[in-house]
Homo-oligomer: A and B are copies of this chain.
């Protein structure tokens, strides 16, 4: 872990993607690895923390995830918008996108998936829950989060802290065509 990353309690893990950020899906199997961007993910349960993510059946990532039964979700900060768009625009079937883009990855302690910390706000290690029908009909993969960590400069004690001074770690939300909305200013709703 890099110096700013701290473990996130599992009961808080779903909060990391509660607000719909675009994520990087990381995977590895048989000596190969990959990273792709995904705008379509969501939590489905707080405890145990479970998530769903759409991974097209034609992607190299899908093959690696089915082979390994695991994947990582890494949450890129605004400083990684170009990289996120780049790894979402080309396949890693023929070469290693980590090498191509100079991405440093650690290896998850629980499931062994590649995890990206530099420039990311957080990551989650996810164990696939096999659901053949949802995978086939909707490309929707369900998973349980078994470990998570976040950069304490933007997520600490189970809460996001979005501030002017941590803009490069603000999450990004893909509007389409390489345009991302940055989740910047925070609105505190009135207590009902």
Interface residues of A (CB under 8 A from B): 15, 18-22, 39-45, 50, 52, 54, 78, 81-82, 84-86, 89-90, 131, 133-134, 138-140, 142, 159-160, 162, 170-192
Are the CB atoms of A41 and B42 closer together than 8 Å? Answer: yes
A185's contact among B131, B139, B181, B192, by CB below 8 Å, is which?
A: B181
Residues of B within 8 A of A15 (CB): 175-176
Q: Can you name 25 A-B residue pairings with CB atoms under 8 Å? A: A19-B173, A44-B54, A44-B140, A78-B187, A81-B189, A82-B190, A85-B192, A86-B189, A89-B192, A90-B192, A133-B133, A134-B134, A159-B175, A159-B176, A160-B175, A173-B173, A178-B191, A180-B189, A181-B184, A181-B185, A181-B186, A182-B184, A182-B186, A184-B184, A184-B185
List 15 other contacts, CB 8 Å, given A42-B42, A85-B190, A179-B186. Answer: A19-B22, A19-B181, A20-B21, A41-B42, A44-B139, A78-B187, A81-B189, A82-B189, A82-B192, A85-B192, A159-B177, A178-B189, A179-B188, A182-B183, A184-B184
Tell me, rounded to whole Å, the shortest Cβ–Cβ distance linking A105 to chain B.
19
* Cβ contact of A40, chosen from B42, B81, B133, cutoff 8 A: B42
What is the copy number of this chain in the assembly? 2
